Amino acid sequence: MENQEINNNDLTFTLNTLPKKPGVYIFKDNKGKVIYIGKAKILYNRVRSYFINNKNLKSSSSKVSYFSKKISAIDYLITDNEIEALILELNLIKKYQPKFNADLKDDKSFPFIAITENDDFPRVIITRNKKINGAKYFGPYTNVQALREAVKYLKKIFMVRDCEKSKPGKQGNKPCLNYHIGLCSGPCIDKISKEEYKKNIEYIILFLKGKDKNIIKNLTDDMNKFAANLNYEKAAEIKNKIQLINEIYNGQKIFISSENSWDFIGIAKGEDIAAASVFMYRQGELAGFNNVIITSFGTENEEEILSDFLVRYYENINNMPSIIYIPFEIKDIDMITNYFQKIKDKKTEIKVPKTSENKKIMDLTLKNCRLFFEKKKFEKQANFSKVFHDIMELKEKLKLKNIPGRIECYDISNLKESFPVGSMVVFINGNPVRNDYRHFKIKTVNNQDDFKMINEILKRRLKYLVSSKIEIKESFYEKPDLIIIDGGKGQLNAAKSALLEYGLAEQIDLISLAKKEEIIFSDNFENGISFDKNKSFMRLIIKIRDEAHRFAVEFHQKLRDANITKSFLDNIKGIGEKKKQYIYEKYNSLDELKNLTFKDLTDIKGLTYNDAKNIYNALHK
């Protein structure tokens, strides 16, 4: 595997020198943060498709054009083949969790059986958490009662521990009640070796994969060996296990088996989200279905979304179905089936249904998927949430034009004209969206004029709505339904002037909220209006205003502290701009520096012993 990183202001050189080999590409922004990870059969072709304007490529849409502008560096790794690239891509996505990679969210979370294979003595647990490190998953299971019964019997048969810690045993390593009543093999007191315990875990895994014949054969061989050696007690114990396994398997065949099982997958795609439906058939009967929302940016067409979904959905599932039916052909079928064969040790077919019966099931799956997708789209457009009634009351009481789903609030913080800053906080459906928060350093106002400062930061924010035709749910590119200004009538008029200048006054609602009296000013209430502060909608806008104030003051304090620190360091012998920068990378206030020991100062990169000594003495005069 070969690694190469290129960071060039002009990416033309990078794009022209990409290898024509399989691998993984990593896009980074101007801060070096990983924003997208993808795999490629040929790196040269795939990476260039994000930048080359080709009308025949859906990847040249405005969204991907916008996306490509966020890319400041490209890191890539060459692999021997596509499957290796796919495995590497999945591992890197888990590690970095890039902003623009697809994210799957189950509409209804069905439980799984997880086996914690990383533990010396693994546990077998029922869980809805699919992010347990090193766990193998089996499911999802829709019949929770049958699931609990099955796991209960599996633990009884193979005597696996029930304690919840990564290491077996209770406090003081005393065996629990389960050991004394014969439901646990006692790993906490060394009554069973790791090898023998893990052999029992392997039997459970075989059972969950539907390979009961393998278990019965292996246990029968062991039973015969013990009987031949006249160890009849052990032979009888194994015989009892075989009988119990036959009972549980016959009773839960449809629920537990992955042999003769089929999944049907439907896909529906919109502008901002996609949806997938999975219908699970076991032994010819519908065992359950699962609806999933896919939030995606990097993949644009349905084929790419479906390929990515197949890999991501089944990534942690170990009881793979025999056949996965998909609604249309995709180019990556062979690569994905080979991946499943290698990772899951099972041959799973992926194909489009051909028989009339299977076509009917696929039509039903697609119909369900489209209905689910439309439902989620409606909920999103209607700003449906637990605070929906508060939002609607806010609209009614303030006579707003829009349902205030996205609310932005602005505040100014300064002290006698020093370090004036502005803040923008964003709430969607009544909840803060901190990734969309923004700070502003005031650039054009030299005196203590809050009105002009409000006007400046509003214009700097609003220009993105008129200078770009891109519709993307991110920061300045998303139009607010309501803008709140922390202040009175003067601040309101300053903000209104900015809206009028950009022709947005008719599209965006605007109010201001004065402190103490909590009086609201707007075009509808020029002289101000006050409401009961205990009303839910008032508590909501006061909360948003207070958050904007906190965010502004926090930034103002940070700049002041950094400036005080800088001024302080200017007077210390031997501390120049480069060494100050080393200090700023870790600390930005005098209080932080004063709390450091002399040893802490010597550990700062770039500082000599004498530098640390001079700083320490100056701090503690």
Question: What is the pLDDT at residue 393?
Answer: 87
Under CATH, which number does the domain 388-558 receive? 3.30.420.340
pLDDT band at 206 (very low <50, low <70, confident <90, very high): confident
Is 416 within 8 Å of 448 (Cβ atoms)?
yes
Instruction: State pLDDT tens for residues 358-395.
Output: 999 999 899 889 888 887 776 666 545 556 778 888 99
Burial class (CB in 10 A: 0-12, 13-18, 19+), 24: buried
**Spatial CA neighbour of 36 closest among 83, 92, 115, 91:** 92
- Name the CA radius of gyration of the chain, rounded: 31
Give 301 or 256, the one with higher predicted confidence. 301
Report d(CA 482, CA 503) in Å as an integer: 15
Under CATH, which number does the domain 571-619 receive? 1.10.150.20
CA angle 563, 31, 433 (to 5 degrees): 85
Report d(CA 133, CA 483) in Å as an integer: 43
**Spatial CA neighbour of 475 closest among 463, 487, 490:** 463
Question: What is the pLDDT at residue 213?
Answer: 67
pLDDT at 90 over 90: no
What residues pair up with 291 in beta bridges, in sequence order?
A: 277
Question: What is the pLDDT at residue 510?
Answer: 96
Stretch 93-99: mean pLDDT: 83
Instruction: State pLDDT tens for residues 42-72.
Output: 999 888 888 765 443 333 444 555 667 778 8
Question: What is the pLDDT at residue 469?
Answer: 53
Chain centre distance of CA 467: 30
Task: With H, G, I as helix, E, B as strand and everything else as coil, classify residue 135.
Answer: strand
- How many other C-beta atoms can be found within 10 angstroms of the C-beta atom of residue 26? 20
Question: What is the pLDDT at residue 215?
Answer: 74
pLDDT at 455 over 60: yes
Where exactly does CATH 3.40.1440.10 map onto the chain?
2-100
Half-sphere exposure of 264 (CA within 13 A, CB side): 25
Going from the C-alpha of 117 to that of each of 92, 312, 550, the distances in angstroms are 21, 20, 46
Fold of 2-100: GIY-YIG endonuclease (3.40.1440)
Beta strands per DSSP E along 29-154: 34-40, 73-78, 103-106, 112-116, 124-127, 135-138
pLDDT at 291 over 50: yes
Q: Which two tokens stand for residue 601?
A: 């100062």
Task: With H, G, I as helix, E, B as strand and everything else as coil, classify residue 227.
Answer: helix
Q: What order of strands is seen across the sheet that includes strand 2-6?
A: 2-6, 73-78, 23-28, 34-40
pLDDT at 584 over 80: no
Under CATH, which number does the domain 261-380 receive? 3.30.420
Question: What is the pLDDT at residue 200?
Answer: 85
Q: Are strands 520-521 and 509-513 parallel, antiparallel or unpaired?
A: antiparallel
pLDDT at 525 over 90: yes
Is 422 within 8 Å of 442 (Cβ atoms)?
yes
Beta strands per DSSP E along 172-284: 261-269, 273-282
Lowest mean pLDDT among 274-288, 352-366, 517-531: 274-288
- How many other C-beta atoms can be found within 10 angstroms of the C-beta atom of residue 113? 25
Question: What is the pLDDT at residue 296?
Answer: 61
Report d(CA 298, CA 320) in Å as an integer: 27
Report d(CA 570, CA 577) in Å as an integer: 9
Stretch 87-102: mean pLDDT: 84
Residue 214 falls in which region: left (phi positive, over 0), alpha (psi -120 to 50) or beta: alpha
The letter for the amino acid at 92 is L
Q: Which two tokens stand for residue 612?
A: 């640390």
Lowest mean pLDDT among 163-167, 197-201, 537-541: 163-167
Going from the C-alpha of 134 to that of each of 198, 486, 549, the distances in angstroms are 15, 49, 44
Check: pTM over 0.75? Answer yes or no.
Answer: no
Where exactly does CATH 3.30.420.340 map onto the chain?
388-558
Q: Which two tokens stand for residue 353?
A: 């249904």
CA angle 277, 280, 282 (to 5 degrees): 170
Question: What is the pLDDT at residue 551?
Answer: 86
Of 20-24, 29-33, 61-65, highest mean pLDDT: 20-24
Where exactly does CATH 1.10.150.20 map onto the chain?
571-619
pLDDT band at 482 (very low <50, low <70, confident <90, very high): very high
Report d(CA 413, CA 337) in Å as an integer: 58
Report d(CA 242, CA 254) in Å as an integer: 20
Q: What is the DSSP string of 355-397?
A: SHHHHHHHHHHHHHHHHHHHHHHHHHHTT-STTHHHHHHHHHH
Question: What is the pLDDT at residue 61?
Answer: 47
pLDDT band at 397 (very low <50, low <70, confident <90, very high): very high
Report d(CA 312, CA 315) in Å as an integer: 5
Average pLDDT, the chain: 80
Is 160 within 8 Å of 149 (Cβ atoms)?
no
Q: Locate tokens 């009614």: which residue? A: 396
Of 168-177, 203-212, 513-522, highest mean pLDDT: 513-522
Question: What is the pLDDT at residue 55?
Answer: 40
Number of H helices, E strands in the chain: 21, 20
Question: What is the pLDDT at residue 538?
Answer: 92
Report d(CA 589, CA 616) in Å as an integer: 14
